[in-house]
Amino acid sequence: MDAFFTSTGAVFIAEIGDKTQLLSLFLIGRFSSRFAIILGILAATLLNHGLSALFGAWVAEWLSPEILKWLVAGSFAAIALWLLIPDEENRKDSSVLGLGAFTATALMFFLAEIGDKTQIATVVLAASYDATWWVIVGSTIGMLAANVPVIMAGKWLIQRLPLETARLAASGLFLVLSVATVWPGFSGV
């Protein structure tokens, strides 16, 4: 269950102020069907984070536990630093929007998550826990927990969220995860 709770919390916090939240706000402005947008996010996240977690689990099989521990700790530290850089809003209209709320959302979210910090975090979490499915479920719930309120409350919510504070908190969480990954190795020193 640690994998589930860590994945849910890490992805939720990392998503605050992320480009996918801005994408959620954009999509709710374009489409009236909140349900179709939420289903599109769910489908895109399950596919993207599912593939990411499976890749992370595969990598974990090929690396020694000692190398994996330091690679995971370094990755968490890198994500912590990456979170300090604010995302930019990219509101380019495309022909994808003509495909309808569900399809447009699924495609745009899937593409937006490629190489994103939450995708990388999902790979790292799956590599560090022997619970790939819990990582997939947790990261998906974290993604939905961060984006569904934006869809439901729209601009009202975005105007009241202290995005800079959330970004700093997310960075701190990943630094804690980095230290916790290697801490047992320092207990004998």
Per-residue model confidence as pLDDT tens digits over 45-85: 999 888 888 888 887 777 776 776 777 677 667 767 766 77
Amino acid at the residue 142: G
Domain that holds residue 175: 2-182
**Residues 158/150, Cβ–Cβ less than 8 Å:** yes
Token readout for 9 is 């919390």
User: In this structure, is residue 187 part of a structural domain?
Assistant: no
Which of 1-10, 75-84, 111-120, 176-185 is most confident?
Answer: 1-10
Q: Is residue 79 situated within a structural domain?
A: yes
Task: With respect to residue 189, please indicate whether it lies within any of the assigned structural domains.
Answer: no
Total Cβ atoms within 10 A of residue 53: 30
Percent of the chain with pLDDT over 70: 74
Contact, 149 vs 17, CB < 8 A?
no
Instruction: State the pLDDT at residue 134.
Output: 94
Say if 42 falls within a structural domain.
yes
63 domain-assigned: yes
The verdict on residue 188 lying in a domain is: no
pLDDT at 119: 82
Decide: pTM greater than 0.85.
no
The model's confidence at residue 36, banded by pLDDT at 50, 70 and 90, is very high
By C-alpha distance, which of 129, 110, 145, 126 is closest to 8?
145
Amino acid, res. 146: A
Domain count, the chain: 1
Confidence of residue 159 (pLDDT cuts 50, 70, 90): low
Residue 64 lies in a domain: yes
Cβ-based neighbours of 1, under 8 Å, separated by 6 or more = 134
Q: Hey, what are 66's tokens?
A: 């000692």
Residue 61 lies in a domain: yes
Residues 6+ apart with CB under 8 A from 128: 56, 60, 68, 72, 181
Tokens (6 digits) for 128: 């560090």
